[in-house]
Amino acid sequence: MLAKRIIPCLDIRNGKTVKGINFLDIQEVGDPVELGAKYASDGADELVYLDITATHEKRKLFSDLVTRIAANLNIPFSVGGGINELKDADILLSAGADKVSINSSAVRNPNLIDNISGSFGNQFVIVAIDAKLEKDGWRVYINGGRIPVEKELFSWAKEAENRGAGEILFTSMNHDGTKNGFAVEALRKLSEILSIPVIASGGAGKEEHFVDVFNNGKADAALAASIFHYNEIPIPRLKKYLIENNINVR
């Protein structure tokens, strides 16, 4: 069985790492290059950098930040935000990113998944999905959780896989920043209908939540932010706990 991955997420705004609750109440928490290097030395398996205002403000990720990140990391990292066409992905790959994560742009133009996957391979493409559980099911949102669209989580994830996504990064907006646990039932269903890895995001607060998301949610990787940013759960301690609970980690 493949080892489960622990992935710190660094949300970037104006070149700084920030964190919010339910996609709101944004606060700065540190320098993305320094934090990334720290997480790598702590034993993180990968990192995800998301420019949370790039799509909303209609601007591109700055490739010089990606270059600086790559120069200070010895683990894979993904970059998302403001990737609207093939050349954006090409710039980020050339700058040193291992993968790109596309979200709003993929919803608006699903062919972007085909284009990036066709040019670089599906291992380079993460499709990130922000969704909220509403009365009629899991509705997909874009622009950093600001705008609901007429897409449903499970059908959109399957379409993304069919178009060439190598992984799905699912963030539950209901759980984001609450530290009450992951959206385990939805993650389990995603894992059942997809043949590509599923990354769980939104709700990590205790070591037990990671055991739950791997055992019951069937996730391949778990992503978190504030518990790592504020050193509430150090990565070495988390991995020790997972090993003690028979979870295969690196």
Tokens of 117: 């996957």
Active site residue 11: yes
- Where does the chain show beta strands of DSSP type E? 5-13, 16-21, 24-30, 47-51, 77-80, 99-102, 125-134, 137-142, 147-152, 167-172, 198-201, 221-224
Residue 220 DSSP label: S
DSSP H or E stretch at residue 180: none
Residue 40, classed as helix, strand or coil, is helix
Distance CA 215, CA 222 (A): 12
Active site residue 130: yes
Q: For residue 20, count other CB atoms closer than 10 A to its CB.
A: 18
Catalytic residue among 11, 176, 212, 220: 11
Long-range contacts of 64-71 (CB under 8 A, 24+ apart): 64/95, 65/12, 65/15, 65/32, 65/33, 66/92, 66/95, 66/96, 66/97, 67/95, 67/96, 68/33, 69/32, 69/33, 69/36, 69/96, 70/95, 70/96, 70/97, 71/96
Residue 99, classed as helix, strand or coil, is strand
Catalytic residue among 51, 88, 130, 220: 130
Tokens of 102: 């596309």
Known catalytic residues are 11, 130
